[in-house]
Amino acid sequence: MSPQPQARPGPRELEAMAPFRRSPDVHEPRATAVTGSVPDWLQGDLLRTCPAVFAQGAWQARHWFDGLGQIYAFRIGDSAVRFQSCLLDSEAAREVASGRARLSSFGTPTGRTAWQRLVQPVQRSTDNTNVNIVQMGDDLVALTEGARQMRIDAASLRAMGPRPYARDGLDGTVMGAHPHRDFARRQVVNLATTFGARGGVVSVYEHGDGERVRRTVGSWRTDRVPYIHSFGLTPSRAVLVAPPYAVKPLDMLWSNRGYIDHFEWRPQDGTRLVVMDRTRGTTTEHEADAMFVFHTVNAFERGSDTVLDALAYPDAAIMDDLRVTRMAERLPDLRPRLVRITMRPGRPRAEVQPLGDTGFEFPGIHYRRSSGGDYRCVWGAADGPPAAGGYASSVVKVDVRSGEHRAFGDGEHIYGEPVFVARPGGLDEDDGVLLSVGSSQRTPSSALAILDARTMDLLARADVPAAIPLGFHGSFVRRSAPPP
Ligand SMILES: [Fe+2]
């Protein structure tokens, strides 16, 4: 897939557009204007990362995913909400500032000279960790798809350099931005992709919260390396969705193109589903019609069957819709279908069934309770009701058993990923709140919505008189330790 020849907006035009509006740093936590009532028990920090800087000097991001990162926090406690943010001081940001952007990017060409390409045929992976932020033991870690993860100081939100790992055989691999957590075994479980002359290897690895050594659980080899953004995890298996959107690693040698610009959509190849046994490391493959998936929702076991719920697009056109020129014209239609994929041993063909007809993205569940097991509730962000001042979105709740859904929207904000926070002592899967950050399209203002996760009613809203760029993922970190 190649970018369409559309006129690129200039840096100033870009910064005036809502999705790319420049957001000032707020180094000291600042009070927000709270309406409604923040639950007393909600004490902690919503920490998020997002692409925030799209133009600087001669450099301009061509893909949404390439905006230079910003870390921000909503600090919630004693019925008040304070806001804080900090641009990410990464090697990628320093390169851009010095006019020499040479690290790899997602969909923006790098500026390596012919000599640099010759001596280093493979682009060095970016440390612009603008996709997700998670807690790993004492480390707050910002993530992108790359060889480096960035430690973030929880108080100042400043970057503290890469999280060190031992020389464990996975050095230099592309780590995923959606690690799972195995609570029973106290392990972080993630993907690592290695590109080689004869193809690629996608490995599942794990490590303890504070550990620096990654243990490879199992590996899957493939000639054409698919784009895999997230994966499913059950107590005994990992599940990968390998769409027919893939690259031959040799095509990336000596190239200055963005990472994803090497990938090709080949629907005739169909989708491969890989089930990995987490004890033995062995894999079995199933197949399904072509689909493209950014986000898995949950996975679980039914005896020997493996079930994966995921948000599936009919193709990978969404990757082009997320290019800056496209987004400057209209925001993308993020309405993949929620599907249930069942993989049965001995049957090469996987069963794919739609679960309801609500299209949404950025799925979240009651992760601690439901991850890897049967569940009922998923929340996400969807197109909202038509807004007077442009586009808005809503936060939705879908019951995967009944297909029922509820939504919240205010016609003003583009709400992103809802993060579920369970009420301490709560028994039900939806007993808690959702935290979702909304950015106004009309004005440089933003809001944190605190919703009742059961009813989807607005409990409180914290207004910030500044733009917060649209973003992807984050975590809620409780002020006191969660129950074991
Ligand atoms: Fe994601």
pLDDT tens sequence across 90-149: 999 999 999 888 777 887 877 767 777 666 767 778 899 999 999 999 999 999 999 999
**CB-CB contact of 173 with 203 (8 Å):** yes
β partners of residue 272? 242, 287
What spacing in Å lies between the alpha carbon of 14 and ligand 1's midpoint? Answer: 24
Lowest-confidence pick of 13-22, 234-243, 319-328, 471-480: 13-22
Indicate if the pLDDT at residue 150 is higher than 80: yes
pLDDT at 53: 93
Indicate if the pLDDT at residue 9 is higher than 80: no
What spacing in Å lies between the alpha carbon of 416 and ligand 1's midpoint? Answer: 12
What spacing in Å lies between the alpha carbon of 294 and ligand 1's midpoint? Answer: 6
- Compute the distance between CA of residue 19 and CA of residue 464 in angstroms, rounded to an integer: 16
- Compute the distance between CA of residue 331 and CA of residue 321 in angstroms, rounded to an integer: 8
- Using alpha carbons only, give the angle 404, 182, 312 rounded to the nearest 5 degrees: 40
The residue among 383, 342, 343 whose CA lies nearest residue 362 is 383
Q: Would you place residue 370 in the very low, low, confident or very high pLDDT band (cuts 50, 70, 90)?
A: very high
Q: Is 118 helix (H, G, I), strand (E, B) or coil?
A: helix
Tokens of 94: 């320093």
* CA quadruple 258, 259, 260, 261: dihedral, nearest 10: 40
What spacing in Å lies between the alpha carbon of 174 and ligand 1's midpoint? Answer: 15
pLDDT at 358: 82
- Compute the distance between CA of residue 348 and CA of residue 339 in angstroms, rounded to an integer: 18
The residue among 317, 363, 357 whose CA lies nearest residue 339 is 357
What spacing in Å lies between the alpha carbon of 117 and ligand 1's midpoint? Answer: 30
Phi, psi (deg, nearest 5) at residue 361: -130, 180
Tell me which of 440 and 288 has the higher pLDDT: 288
pLDDT at 424: 95
Lowest-confidence pick of 65-69, 111-115, 196-200, 398-402: 111-115
What spacing in Å lies between the alpha carbon of 176 and ligand 1's midpoint? Answer: 9
- Compute the distance between CA of residue 310 and CA of residue 228 in angstroms, rounded to an integer: 12
Phi, psi (deg, nearest 5) at residue 289: -60, 165
| Cα distances (Å, whole numbers) of residue 8 to 62, 150, 319 | 9, 31, 17
Contacts of residue 105, defined as CB under 8 A and 6 or more positions apart, other chains included, come to: 61, 63, 66, 92, 126, 128, 258, 259
What spacing in Å lies between the alpha carbon of 229 and ligand 1's midpoint? Answer: 6
**Amino acid symbol at 197:** A
What is the torsional sign of CA 397, 398, 402, 406? Answer: positive
The average pLDDT across 418-435 equals 97
What spacing in Å lies between the alpha carbon of 40 and ligand 1's midpoint? Answer: 30
**CB-CB contact of 413 with 446 (8 Å):** yes
Give me the chain's average pLDDT, please: 91
Indicate if the pLDDT at residue 386 is higher than 70: no
Which strands make up the sheet holding 292-302, listed edge to edge?
A: 292-302, 305-313, 337-343, 351-354
pLDDT at 3: 44
What spacing in Å lies between the alpha carbon of 177 and ligand 1's midpoint? Answer: 7
pLDDT at 4: 46
pTM of the model: 0.94
Phi, psi (deg, nearest 5) at residue 93: -65, -40
* Span 159-194, pLDDT tens digits: 999 999 999 999 889 999 999 999 999 999 999 999
Tokens of 389: 């001042």
What spacing in Å lies between the alpha carbon of 184 and ligand 1's midpoint? Answer: 24
What spacing in Å lies between the alpha carbon of 298 and ligand 1's midpoint? Answer: 14
Exposure string over 6-41, b if 16+ CB within 10 A, otherwise e = eebbebeebbeebbbbbbeebeebeebebeeebbee
| Cα distances (Å, whole numbers) of residue 1 to 142, 145, 265 | 29, 20, 7
β partners of residue 398? 378, 405
- Compute the distance between CA of residue 203 and CA of residue 276 in angstroms, rounded to an integer: 10
Residue 110, CA atoms < 13 Å, CB-side half-sphere: 27
What spacing in Å lies between the alpha carbon of 205 and ligand 1's midpoint? Answer: 19
What spacing in Å lies between the alpha carbon of 118 and ligand 1's midpoint? Answer: 33
CA 447 to chain centre: 20
Indicate if the pLDDT at residue 449 is higher than 90: yes
Indicate if the pLDDT at residue 482 is higher than 50: no
What spacing in Å lies between the alpha carbon of 253 and ligand 1's midpoint? Answer: 26
pLDDT at 81: 97
What spacing in Å lies between the alpha carbon of 283 and ligand 1's midpoint? Answer: 24
- Using alpha carbons only, give the angle 45, 49, 53 rounded to the nearest 5 degrees: 140
What spacing in Å lies between the alpha carbon of 119 and ligand 1's midpoint? Answer: 33
Contacts of residue 98, defined as CB under 8 A and 6 or more positions apart, other chains included, come to: none
What spacing in Å lies between the alpha carbon of 362 and ligand 1's midpoint? Answer: 7
Tokens of 124: 């060095």
Indicate if the pLDDT at residue 207 is higher than 70: yes
**Amino acid symbol at 339:** V
What spacing in Å lies between the alpha carbon of 78 and ligand 1's midpoint? Answer: 31
What spacing in Å lies between the alpha carbon of 415 and ligand 1's midpoint? Answer: 15
What spacing in Å lies between the alpha carbon of 311 and ligand 1's midpoint? Answer: 11
What spacing in Å lies between the alpha carbon of 417 and ligand 1's midpoint? Answer: 10
What spacing in Å lies between the alpha carbon of 113 and ligand 1's midpoint? Answer: 32
pLDDT at 388: 56
Q: Would you place residue 261 in the very low, low, confident or very high pLDDT band (cuts 50, 70, 90)?
A: confident
What spacing in Å lies between the alpha carbon of 471 and ligand 1's midpoint? Answer: 10
Tell me which of 228 and 79 has the higher pLDDT: 228
What spacing in Å lies between the alpha carbon of 180 and ligand 1's midpoint? Answer: 12
What spacing in Å lies between the alpha carbon of 372 and ligand 1's midpoint? Answer: 18
Percent of the chain with pLDDT over 90: 71
Alpha helices, H only, 353-429: 367-370
Q: Would you place residue 5 in the very low, low, confident or very high pLDDT band (cuts 50, 70, 90)?
A: very low
Indicate if the pLDDT at residue 410 is higher than 50: yes
What spacing in Å lies between the alpha carbon of 230 and ligand 1's midpoint? Answer: 7
What spacing in Å lies between the alpha carbon of 114 and ligand 1's midpoint? Answer: 34
**Amino acid symbol at 70:** Q
